[in-house]
Amino acid sequence: MHHLLSRDRPFDAARRAAPRRPARARAAGFTLLEMLVVLLIAGILVSLASLSLSRNPRTDLKEEAQRLALLFESAGDEAQVRSRPIAWEPTDHGFQFDVRTADGWRPLRDDLLGPRHWQGGVTGVSISYPGAGTDTSASRIVFGTEAVDVPVEVTLFSAVGRATIVGTGAGRYEVR
């Protein structure tokens, strides 16, 4: 029995020699006040970021004009492939593409050139053919079956301004 007690003594001695911790040691981690301050700062940063991410109406108008310019190029290509004229016409709340058939103009119903609603806050449209004489306004654009066409300008209006799509007459359109 004495032998067992002697083995315990070095352990007891090491325990007594170790420095004692204070009774109320600070726990690791954050206090509630620190967490609230961090959440407050994060909330302010998120609100500032959301303000800066709001869309610019002028950018929306320009993007709608760029989409329309690409659709014009596609309509011109489609008219050549089909060997039938295709017309673009603005409507009250959007626009549509029509194809010329033996029975007259019929709306296209495909995914690319089907009827669409305006985006970007468009409130009005004007079509003009510069250099076409005194009456340069029109109510539609006709894309012929030939690669070369007459130059055209389509201006989209919104509450924040305007964007003009210029057709060169060679099948390409750009936004100004």
pLDDT over 80 (residue 113): yes
Q: What is the largest CA-CA distance in the chain?
A: 124
What mean pLDDT do residues 107-125 have? 93
Q: How far is CA 173 from CA 21, 40, 56, 74, 164, in A?
A: 79, 50, 23, 10, 10
pLDDT tens, 23-82? 565 667 889 888 889 999 998 888 887 776 777 888 999 999 999 999 999 999 999 999
Q: Helix (H, G, I), strand (E, B), or coil: what is residue 57?
A: helix
Q: Cβ(128)–Cβ(164) under 8 Å?
A: no
Q: Cβ(113)–Cβ(97) under 8 Å?
A: yes
What mean pLDDT do residues 96-105 have? 95
Q: How far is CA 26 from CA 38, 59, 120, 173, in A?
A: 21, 55, 58, 71
CA 9 to chain centroid, in Å, comes to: 76
Instruction: Return the percentage of the chain with pLDDT > 90, whole number.
Output: 56
From CA 173, how far away is CA 176, in angstroms rounded?
Answer: 10
Q: What per-residue confidence (pLDDT) applies to 70?
A: 96
Burial track 19-50 (b if 16+ CB lie within 10 A, e otherwise): eeeeeeeeeeeeeeeeeeeeeeeeeeeeeeee
From CA 104, how far away is CA 121, in angstroms rounded?
Answer: 32
pLDDT over 90 (residue 153): yes
pTM over 0.75: no
pLDDT over 90 (residue 16): no
Structure tokens at 14: 């090491």
